[in-house]
Structure 1
Amino acid sequence: MRILIINPPHPAIGSRIPDDHLPPLGLLSIAGPLIDDGHTVRLLDAEFGPMPLADIVRDALAFAPDAVLIGHSGSTSGHPSATAIFRALRPVLPAARMIYGGVFPTYHWREILAEVPEIDVIVRGEGEETARQLMAALDGGGALRDIAVADIELGHIPGIAYRRGFKAIANLAAPVIQDLDAYRVGWELIDFKRYSYWGGKRAVVVQFSRGCPHLCNYCGQRGFWTRWRHRDPKRFAAELARLHREHGVELFNFADENPTVSRIAWKAFLEALIAENVPVLLVGSTRADDIVRDADLLHLYKKAGVIRFLLGMENTDPATLKLIQKGGGTATDRQAIRELRKNGILSMATWVVGFEEERDRDYWRGMRHLLTYDPDQIQLLYVTPHRWTPYFRLAAARRVIQLDRSRWDYKHQVLATRHVPPWRVLLWVKLTEVVLQARPKALWRTYLHPDAVLRQSMRWYSQMGRRVWPYEIKNFFLRDRRTAAGPSVAAFRGAPQDAEEEALRVVRPPRAGRRTPAAPLPERPPAASGRARSSG
């Protein structure tokens, strides 16, 4: 089949302001197995520009695909853009299969299939194996390409949702992919020269692990991956080294929620990458308690190329931390930042605002706490409830002030707070950012730090902040359309789905002494091209 994979243009502030762009790892991960199955696959990255809808339609028509796959890592706020593309393509590509995937459609499949008739199938959860089986079923060796999707038997494919008549149905959830090295990333679909990060460095997104074992009840990713797994440390390090040597990649941005869960596996990766002897930089996210646990390993972090870790601290108020089940503690957060600094690694502290009972004094107290933490960089976010998280029930009665779903991206206020109006919440956020990033210590690290690499990193982040800061203020007052009398969260987004939070099913090995049942899924065939797989 001819398969067109589209990365839709995203409205998020982070996508529109920086000059840097990163490739869509999730879509490339779907593409690799499809290429190996013999399909002709093309990636249309509409983030560049961003591409106008008319240009997307033009390029899609020129490729003449049998199937169109659309997905986005920020799929909640990206959903309106993806929907617009499906609706524009269906009239001009009436025979093409329209397939949608990502976190948002995984959980909102009922509404999407009811509201967007242009979409034929939704892939729920991890897509590598599901997309392979779906494409094989829709193609049937070419015999089924002219048959409507509704007339093709799809009931045997785990992890999809589709229509039968006027009814939307979802098959059994797909099994968790136990071996993350079994599926390679389709790196050949991108021009590496087009992608950069960290101030123009050639960069890609990679993933050492999937999932997170912690129980933060607001996290929209925890249940999507179901359980934490990691790639083979040596194979993963070899892939990063190959991408540097063959394609000049200088920086790797980790998409993992928490790559350092296993001290043993993470240490093995660091040592393997050090042994590869490639001058690369690594940035990612982790938990402060993992950094404190690994205090004796941080020299390996630095030697392997780790330049910054984002630490999800979320808040310092004990009641709020208990509410969101964050775990950890303020003492650990401070120690993690100190340990990173001792080893020449930058720290970024994330801070979430917009909880129901916050008052002005809470924002003042939070800013003072952040100053005592002394992070190198700061990122403030607004609390955003998702239907499939336990936190949604806690926020269900709160008032929605932002009805534009493309603004539900953690960088826009979407919920009213009882005691502080939106304009004053914004004032506190901007004030906190200025105080943290313009204080003497931060300015010294930005312009006078003796380590040239760290100094350049701080300057790049400062330059980006100077562009984002006024952009957010201008949009808040001139473009964002908020309502003072919006519906409740439950009325706007629907019933809670926390009972469906786990998007994948865990297939456990049989107990000793029991007969192993026949495998419910077909075995993965060898690559159709006969080409050796990459280590990814």
Structure 2
Amino acid sequence: MQVLLAYKSHHAGARDPFASLLPTGLGYLNGLLRAQGFASRIANLSTMGWREVDALLRRERPTILGISQYTHNRFESLRLVSSAKTADPTCLTVLGGPHATHSFDMILQHHPQVDAVVLGEGEETMLELVRTVAEGNRSLAGIPGLAIREGSGISHSSRAPLRNLDDLPVPARYFDNALGCDLRRQLEFVITSRGCPASCRFCSSPRFWGTSLRLRSPRAMVDEIRYIRDRFGLLSFSLRDDTFTARADRVIEFCRLLTAEGLHILWSCQSRVNCVDEEMLLWMRRAGCEYVQYGVESGSERILARLGKRITPDQVQRAAAATRRAGMDLSIYLIAGVPGEDEEDLRATLRLIEDIRPHDGHVAPLAYYPGTALFAEAVREGRVPADLFEREKGEACFVRKDATVQRSIDRLLTTLARVGRKARFGPADFARQAKLVGWCHAGALAEGGWYEEREEWREAEACYRQITHRQPANPWGWLALGGLHGSVGDLEQSRQMFTRVLELVPAHIPAHLALGDLCLHDGDRRGARRNYEAALTLNPGDVEARERLKELKE
């Protein structure tokens, strides 16, 4: 019996660096099934055309096809189900994910090719489903956490959330047979908790994960990062929890372990402005945190209240200032097109941007999603139909579609870009941060990068040499020196630096690619091929390695 767990983004998402990646949830499902002895395989179909997808399904002929469905890829998911049924009508098709969870009744009513929907957290539900089918039972009735057709209606039940997230297998251990995955990009994203202490009206996370916040232990977090670092060579990570800093003691212990055990990584996270303090931020910077992304959404208290954010502009100001003092870049999310938003509300947000000086920001128009208070209210008041997501064919269903929204977005983006250019740290900032934070490799890299951009090579090298002198086992110092020497034409020194990186982290693909480029510069095509092929062996889906080998053949 073969289980295939698949994802296909919407058309535009195939070119998006985030939307094109597999949802982390599929990795957990795959890991649990494999750990329990089932033949499971994970597949990212985002960059495949439909002919290629159809051929893959005819070749794989899975007994069970599990598909991760978001609002943006709701139609692609349904087409994938139809393709599977065409390839093998006996294939059991199962949807999961946020859109499927909150729209299961509509999906099962209107799309007979979908056999079942996993509701919310899916590991135990999917495991029970697979066991049931493996035992020869095609009836899925009575499985908690599953929605199915029963008679002329739809039955569904809930399942208690997992008590201990540390019991789940590490997904990265089970990517050996993955299809269509660039592991260097995919495994950068790590989840360390489920749930969120907030209840924003535009977000479905509380209904999906439940109201309680469940946290992985710092020990489990560090062990997962170490495994990915050693096995796949990744040195940068993005911790994609809704609110990574919800528990200060956990964050500090995580940072303490990272530092004490010498993992020497760089990382980033998402948080809320009312869930950080200066002590925590200083620990994060010392442990390699580069930047924090905050959901700010608006500078208007009136609009924040409408969105259910439960934060104030004053809290935004304090969190932003503390983040900058700690030496981390400040990134913010903003929302435009909130009903009732007027010129004064927009000006309040523009003023806030000027005051907090974010290094970058993202602006999105407010959209409806199933499972949110915003959508439920709009349906209740008759402003949108209950089957909105069946009728609307776009990736998202925006709350407002008037020209004013786009003008607001343009003004916000223009201000973010202008402020961001001025917000960058300089030598005086680095000096102040060092007094507060102490020396750390993230700070030395940032300062060295500032000098390198200005071609002040000697000063940049001095910053990077601090890392190799203080922490000889830290690959970041050698990696930065390798790039620096390559920039100034000292190719032999560059080669030595990248070789040292591979002595410390043998699976580091960028070092393999850099050494291959240096070989090619010297006319050593065999050496170049050897390094590019080594990178491709480590990550069969690596786009850069594949392109370099292709160019080498041409």
- For the criterion TM > 0.5, the same-fold answer is yes
Alignment partner of 1:166 out of 152, 155, 158: 152
Q: How does 1:504-515 map to 2 (within 5 A)?
A: none
Cα deviation for residue 298 of structure 1 reads 1.9
Q: Is the 2:299–2:345 Cα contact (8 Å) retained in structure 1?
A: no
Q: CA deviation at 1:11?
A: 4.0
1:405-416 equivalences under 5 Å are: 405-408=393-396, 414-416=398-400
CA distance in 1, matches of 2:12, 2:278: 35
1:350 aligned partner: 333
- Please name the residue that 1:30 is paired with: 29
Structure 1 pair 97–446 and aligned structure 2 pair: CA distance change class (3 A):
farther
Aligned to 2:268: 283
Gap change, CA 1:431 and 1:160, over 3 Å in 2 = same
What secondary structure, in the 3-state scheme, does the structure 1 residue paired with 2:224 have? helix
Which of 188, 196, 200 is 1:212 aligned to?
A: 196
Q: Which amino acid aligns with 1:436?
A: L
Mapping of residues 117-132 of structure 1, within 5 Å: 117-132=112-127
Q: Within the alignment, does 1:303 sit opposite 2:316 as a pair?
A: no
- The match for 1:438 is 418
CA distance in 2, matches of 1:174, 1:399: 30
Change (3 A) 1:217 1:432: closer
* Distance in 1, Cα, partners of 2:189 & 2:171: 12
Matched to 2:147, the amino acid is: A
Query: Which shifted more, 270-279 or 342-351?
Result: 270-279
Structure 1 residues 277 and 193, CA, compared in 2 at 3 Å: closer, same or farther?
farther
The aligned amino acid for 1:424 is T
1:273 and 2:258 correspond: yes
Which of 312, 318, 330 is the matching residue for 2:313?
A: 330
CA contact (8 A) 1:241 1:276 kept: no
Contact 2:201 / 2:374 at 8 angstroms: preserved in 1? yes
Task: Encode CA deviations 1:259-286: one digit per residue, 9 max, x unaligned.
Answer: 2111122222221222221121222210
User: C-alpha separation between the residues in 2 aligned to 1:447 and 1:4?
Assistant: 52
Matches within 5 A, 1:9-48: 9-11=9-11, 15-18=14-17, 22-47=21-46
Q: Secondary structure at the match of 1:90?
A: helix
User: 2:362, 2:449 → 1: CA distance?
Assistant: 15
Give the whole-Å Cα distance in 2 for the aligned partners of 1:132 and 1:447.
54
In the superposition, relative to structure 1, how do residues 12 and 173 fare at CA in structure 2: closer, same or farther (>3 Å)? farther
User: What is the CA–CA distance in structure 2 between the aligned matches of 1:20 and 1:127, rounded to whole Å?
Assistant: 20
Q: Which amino acid aligns with 2:80?
A: I
Alpha-carbon distance in 1 for matches of 2:236, 2:209: 25
In 2, the alpha carbon distance for the partners of 1:350 and 1:405 equals 26
User: Contact 2:299–2:351 at 8 Å: present in 1 too?
Assistant: no
Residue of structure 1 in register with 2:182 after alignment: 194
- Label 1:405 to 1:278 Cα distance change in 2 as closer, same or farther (>3 A): farther
CA shift for structure 1 position 70: 0.5
SS at match of 2:73: helix
Q: Equivalent residue of 2:398, what SS?
A: coil
Assess, with a 3 A threshold, how the Cα gap between structure 1 residues 22 and 195 changes in structure 2: closer, same or farther: farther
> 1:404 and 2:392 equivalent?
yes
- Once residues 407 and 339 of structure 2 are traced to their aligned partners in structure 1, the CA distance between those partners, rounded to angstroms, is 17
Within 5 Å, give how 1:94-105 maps onto structure 2.
Answer: 94-105=89-100
User: Shift of the alpha carbon at 1:393?
Assistant: 4.3
Shift, 1:128, TM fit: 0.8
Deviations 1:448-497 (A, max 9, x none): 99767548999xxxxxxxxxxxxxxxxxxxxxxxxxxxxxxxxxxxxxxx
CA distance in 2 between counterparts of 1:398 and 1:439 reads: 37
Report the AA paired with residue 77 of structure 1: H
Equivalent AA in structure 2 for residue 257 of structure 1:
D
Structure 2 contact 245–275 (Cα < 8 Å) conserved: yes
1:124 CA displacement? 0.5
Paired with 1:456 and 1:423, the residues of 2 have a C-alpha distance of 44
Unaligned stretches of 5+ residues in structure 2:
431-442, 451-554
Query: Match for 1:178: what amino acid?
Result: R
- Offset of 1:342 from its aligned partner? 1.3
Q: Judging changes above 3 Å, is the alpha-carbon distance between structure 1 residues 382 and 454 closer, same or farther for their aligned structure 2 residues?
A: farther
CA distance 1:387–1:194, shift in 2 (3 Å): closer
> Partner residue of 1:116?
111
Structure 1 residue corresponding to 2:143, chosen from 157, 164, 167: 157
Secondary structure, aligned partner of 2:296: strand
Match of 1:64 in 2: 61
**Following TM superposition, by how much is the alpha carbon of 1:69 offset from its aligned partner in structure 2, in angstroms?**
0.7
Q: Which residue of 2 aligns with 1:242?
A: 227
Q: What are structure 1's unaligned runs of at least 5 residues?
A: 459-536
| Distance (whole Å) between structure 1 residues aligned to residue 67 and residue 295 of structure 2 | 29
Structure 1 residues 387, 242: closer, same or farther in 2, change over 3 A? Answer: closer
Matching residue of 1:2: 2
Task: Report the Cα offset of residue 2 of structure 1.
Answer: 0.6
CA shift at 1:97, angstroms? 0.9
Relative to structure 1, the CA distance from residue 185 to residue 121 in structure 2 (aligned partners, 3 Å threshold; closer, same or farther) is: farther
CA distance in 2, matches of 1:120, 1:284: 37
Asked if the contact 1:398/1:415 (under 8 Å) is kept, the reply is no
Q: Secondary structure at the match of 2:203?
A: coil
Higher radius of gyration, 1 or 2: 2
For residues 456 and 365 of structure 1, what CA distance do their matches in structure 2 show?
36
Determine the C-alpha separation between the residues in 2 that align with 1:112 and 1:339: 46
- The reply to whether residue 137 of structure 1 matches residue 132 of structure 2 is yes
Letter in 2 for 1:36: A
C-alpha separation in 1, matches of 2:129 and 2:99 = 19
Q: Over residues 180-218 of structure 1, what are the superposed CA-to-partner deviations in whole Å (9 max), with x where a residue is unaligned?
A: 011113322257982445xxxx85221111101222222
TM-score, with normalisation over the residues of structure 2?
Answer: 0.72
Give the equivalent residue in structure 1 for 2:515.
Answer: none
Distance in 2, Cα, partners of 1:8 & 1:22: 9
Q: Distance in 1 between matches of 2:181 and 2:111?
A: 36
Q: 1:318 maps to which residue?
A: 301
Distance change (3 Å), C-alpha of 1:399 and 1:128: closer
Q: Do the aligned residues in 2 keep the contact of 1:289 with 1:332 (CA within 8 Å)?
A: yes
